Amino acid sequence: MFIDVAIHDSCDPRRREADLRAALAQRRLPGRLLYAGPAQAERWLAYHRAWAPSRRDAALRAAYRGAFAAALAGLPAGPFHLVGLGCGDGSKEAELLEAAAEAGAGAERYTPLDGSLELLLEAAQAARAGRADLPVHPLAMDLAALADLPPWLAQREPRPQPRLFTAFGILPNAQPEALAAALAGLLRPGDTLLLSANLSPGGYAADRERILAQYDNPQARHWYGGALEALGLLPGDFALEVRAVPLAADGARWQVRVSARLLRPVRLGAGALELGAGAVPLAQGERLEVFFSNRFTQGAVEDWLGAAGLGPARVWPHDAGEEAVFLCRRAAGAGPGAGYPPAR
């Protein structure tokens, strides 16, 4: 079996080296490095399987199924194009495709999009396992380049058709305002967006200790450490620190931040990810930002979407309040592209 994968310039090895150098100059890891390569993709999958509520919680999976059904019912009659933004292993999109088949609302094509080639191939195979005849067009692309996506999608659609975008698990690790602008630029009237958010139901003070445990555990540390070791660091070169940082005075927005404090002088880029023009030296005591995850109250997410013109039409919150799925649409005339017939 062949899988044809399109690769955007943002995933070109030369571009990735330049991005890596720029990030290291700012003493941070580029987010894609946490998912790059087969070993690191497997570390993430192991962490996700162990800690993601959607993997372990039947009530949350039911909330996703409810969101899938509502999104499918609201699409115009006829085939649609499913686009999975930051799809990871594509497990949720595969469930959505299964729900579409059961509802008789068949997807005509599927575009999984991710910066990790290894996870992208997992997503393509997951979709084809449920429907072998589905045209799947995987796209390796950094989420920061989403402005280039609309013309690429249009070239692969034989005729204009509504699109159902999924954005599961990308808000936590994105710059929220930049992501909102990118999503608003993608949706045309008649398109639908399903977006998930990791929530903090009680806000920073009430939730930080409980939620920090989800990011400070053996599976998570193994995942963070793998990215650092790919840069040439040994386990004894650094100490990982996981902390919570408020972003709003009322505690409605905050971040989990993971950093590596260097225990001795090191040269980054001397490992598997060699830097062609030489390694980057760091001194003992310097910190390297490894990972961050945004947390919002549900109201803060709704305000964020509303400010982008994507005010959620419906919300499916988890019973425990720590995750929710938001169904969003852009009103006719409010965005680029032509509209479609009214939802059935």
State the pLDDT at residue 198. Answer: 93
Is 205 within 8 Å of 84 (Cβ atoms)? no
Q: How does residue 147 score in pLDDT terms, banded at 50, 70 and 90?
A: very high
Rounded to an integer, what distance in angstroms lies between the CA atom of residue 74 and that of residue 60? 21
Residue 8 belongs to some domain of the structure: no
Q: How does residue 283 score in pLDDT terms, banded at 50, 70 and 90?
A: very high
183 shares a domain with 62: yes
Range of the domain at 152: 52-199+297-328
Residue 339 belongs to some domain of the structure: no
Q: How many Cβ atoms sit within 10 Å of the Cβ of residue 218?
A: 10
Is 301 within 8 Å of 197 (Cβ atoms)? yes
323 shares a domain with 263: no
Residue 29 belongs to some domain of the structure: no
150 shares a domain with 215: no
Residue 92 belongs to some domain of the structure: yes
Report the predicted TM-score, pTM, of the whole model to 2 decimal places.
Answer: 0.88
State the pLDDT at residue 330. Answer: 83
Residue 137 belongs to some domain of the structure: yes
Question: Is residue 6 scored above 90 in pLDDT?
Answer: yes
127 shares a domain with 235: no
Q: How does residue 344 score in pLDDT terms, banded at 50, 70 and 90?
A: very low
142 shares a domain with 74: yes
Average pLDDT over every residue of 60-88: 92
Q: How does residue 37 score in pLDDT terms, banded at 50, 70 and 90?
A: confident
Residue 46 belongs to some domain of the structure: no
Q: Is pLDDT larger for residue 56 or for residue 248?
A: 248
CATH number, domain containing residue 120: 3.40.50.150
168 shares a domain with 313: yes
269 shares a domain with 192: no
193 shares a domain with 306: yes
Instruction: Please give the tally of structural domains in the chain.
Output: 2
Q: How does residue 201 score in pLDDT terms, banded at 50, 70 and 90?
A: very high
Is 309 within 8 Å of 326 (Cβ atoms)? no
Question: Is residue 145 scored above 50 in pLDDT?
Answer: yes
302 shares a domain with 262: no
Q: How does residue 241 score in pLDDT terms, banded at 50, 70 and 90?
A: very high
Is 248 within 8 Å of 232 (Cβ atoms)? no
> Nearest 5 degrees, angle CA 153-CA 44-CA 116?
30
154 shares a domain with 65: yes
What digits encode the pLDDT tens for the residues 298-328? 999 999 999 999 988 899 998 778 899 999 9
Q: How does residue 103 score in pLDDT terms, banded at 50, 70 and 90?
A: confident
State the pLDDT at residue 274. Answer: 54
74 shares a domain with 174: yes
Residue 247 belongs to some domain of the structure: yes
Average pLDDT over every residue of 281-294: 95
State the pLDDT at residue 332. Answer: 54
Question: Is residue 87 scored above 90 in pLDDT?
Answer: yes
156 shares a domain with 88: yes
Which of 95-99, 233-237, 239-243, 319-323 shows the lowest mean pLDDT across its residues? Answer: 319-323
State the pLDDT at residue 321. Answer: 83
Rounded to an integer, what distance in angstroms lies between the CA atom of residue 199 and that of residue 197? 6
Rounded to an integer, what distance in angstroms lies between the CA atom of residue 288 and that of residue 206? 28
Mean pLDDT, all residues of the chain: 88
